[in-house]
Amino acid sequence: MDSKVSASKADPVVISGVGIAASLGSHREEVWQAIQRGRSGVRLTRASDQIGALRIPCAMADWLPAEPPGSRSLKSIRMCRTAAAEALDDADIDWRRVDRGRFACSVAAQFGDIGYLYLDQDQRVADPSLLEHAWHKEFLPSSISDSVAGHFGLYGPRLCYATACASGVVSLLAAARMIEEDQADMALAGAADAVTEIILTSFYRMGVLAEGDNPAEACRPFDRGRTGFVMGEGAGLMVLERRSHAKARGAKIYAEIAAGQMLCQAHHVTSLEDDCATLEQLIRRTVRKAGWQEPPQYINAHGTGTKQNDFSELRAIRAALGSDADQVIASSNKAVLGHLINAAGSIELALATLAMRDGFAPPTMHLQDPEIEGQIDCLAQYGVQQPLQRVLKLSQAFGGHLVGVALNQPNDASLARQPIPLVSDARVRSRLDVRRRAA
């Protein structure tokens, strides 16, 4: 299934606002600075919040802000509103000049914020309003999209995709397509997801959760000793519009969406192809549609830390790019953010735009013994500081969903966001190490 994102090269869809809610900080820049430092948001759950069916503390990168007094909003909705408010503010919108009927909302379905099920009968009888405020939001996949759009008064088209761990990126491509097809002038796009008992227990039973004595370092993407991922929660939202639209209202932009591509492995619900042929094809098509004559400089990988995913992803990158893969650097954010399931791709794509802005490809933390398949430089423990004009984001998901998004630096320097200096203790490779690796 091809996206129409790359239909217009002359006036591409751009990202003009970014908002993030995650375990690593209370706002976008705080999360990004924690990523630069290689800090982990993963902790061991307290005895008071053990996941019931497991009866043991679990490693998790959870979003900690307390629920406002009197609020009955689902955690996933609160996270999404937090990130959406930041993205809309970041886009510097003059609402007096915006047609809210042309402002779309494309927010992915939640995986299952079903806390209402765990209320006992006495609680439900004592407060009948819980029935009105809770259950339908938990079971309607579009509840986050509807709630966020209504809260911010976005009355354009609303979409809600449920494509598992690819949902956040699919939502962004769908929003971009609405703008390409002139159904909207602007769009809010992304995803949010919260960890619940049934979801965490399911992944535990599948045997894909990371093991280790230190929870904060349990997830080790692309390490030959990797044992799986840790669960995370949060939200990543972005504001999209045409480049000409952004320029007309005096907005600054993070990146241009050069191409988007979606394919599916008709193979297995949870397992991946042994030969990685479909993922290889996805990478080839995305790069070709972007019109790149050179390979991507940085790949923000799916990188779950599971044996099969990391192996197949590196093999597909090498197969698609050939010898050009020697020039590519790649990393995974899941080592420190956890796996945010439906929201994983949207937060990681948001971080990729910040990487472009500041010219810093962040490290893959906890990577000590790199997977040799593909011989790709996965930025073990330290990131690289360099200009990033071409960035590729990859997402994979249960059901065989594969998504690739190609981002370009804005070709008009006057529109581009100004870089923000890295924190003084950012984990940056020394110039000597960079030269050695190049040799």
CATH number, residue 126: 3.40.47.10
**Residues in the chain, how many?**
439
State both tokens at 114.
């079903």
pLDDT value of position 6: 43
Note whether residue 20 is domain-resident: yes
Which run of H or E residues covers position 237?
Answer: strand 234-242
**Has residue 26 got a pLDDT over 70?**
yes
- Give the range of the structural domain holding residue 128, as residue numbers without chain letter: 5-411
Q: pLDDT per residue over 264-305, tens digit each?
A: 876 655 556 677 889 999 999 999 999 999 999 999 999 998
Q: pLDDT per residue over 136-163, tens digit each?
A: 566 667 788 888 999 999 999 999 887 7
Tell me the pLDDT band of 44, cut-offs 50, 70 and 90. confident
The CA–CA distances, whole Å, from 285 to 281, 337, 386, 392, 420 equal 6, 29, 26, 12, 33
Longest dimension (CA), the chain: 70
- Number of structural domains the chain divides into: 1
> Based on the number of CB atoms within 10 Å of its own CB, is 224 exposed (0-12), middle (13-18) or buried (19 or more)?
middle
Q: Which residue has the higher pLDDT, 63 or 283?
A: 283
Cβ-contact 173, 5 below 8 angstroms: yes
Tell me the pLDDT band of 215, cut-offs 50, 70 and 90. confident
Tell me the pLDDT band of 128, cut-offs 50, 70 and 90. low
Note whether residue 324 is domain-resident: yes
Average confidence score pLDDT of the chain: 86
State both tokens at 361.
């490809």
Task: Give which of 360, 419, 366 is closest to 391, Cα–Cα.
Answer: 360
C-alpha–C-alpha distance, residues 167 and 175, integer Å: 12
Note whether residue 390 is domain-resident: yes
pLDDT value of position 7: 43
**Has residue 45 got a pLDDT over 80?**
no
Amino acid occupying residue 323: S
**Has residue 61 got a pLDDT over 70?**
yes
Which run of H or E residues covers position 61?
Answer: strand 59-61
DSSP 135: I
Tell me the pLDDT band of 8, cut-offs 50, 70 and 90. low
Note whether residue 211 is domain-resident: yes
Note whether residue 421 is domain-resident: no
Q: What's the mean pLDDT in 319-344?
A: 94
pLDDT value of position 209: 84
Q: What's the mean pLDDT in 241-269?
A: 90
DSSP 52: T
Note whether residue 138 is domain-resident: yes
pLDDT value of position 117: 59
Cβ-contact 318, 374 below 8 angstroms: yes
Task: Give which of 6, 48, 81 is closest to 292, Cα–Cα.
Answer: 6
Note whether residue 439 is domain-resident: no
Q: Which residues pair with 192 in a beta bridge?
A: 235
C-alpha–C-alpha distance, residues 265 and 244, integer Å: 37
pLDDT value of position 68: 63
Q: State phi, psi for 416 to the nearest 5 degrees.
A: -75, 145
| Contacts (Cβ under 8 Å, ≥6 apart) of 428 | 360, 382, 383, 384, 385, 422
**What percent of the chain clears pLDDT 70, i.e. is strictly above it?**
82
Task: Give which of 259, 269, 200 is closest to 403, Cα–Cα.
Answer: 259
Other CB atoms within 10 Å distance of the CB of residue 424? 7
C-alpha–C-alpha distance, residues 326 and 72, integer Å: 51
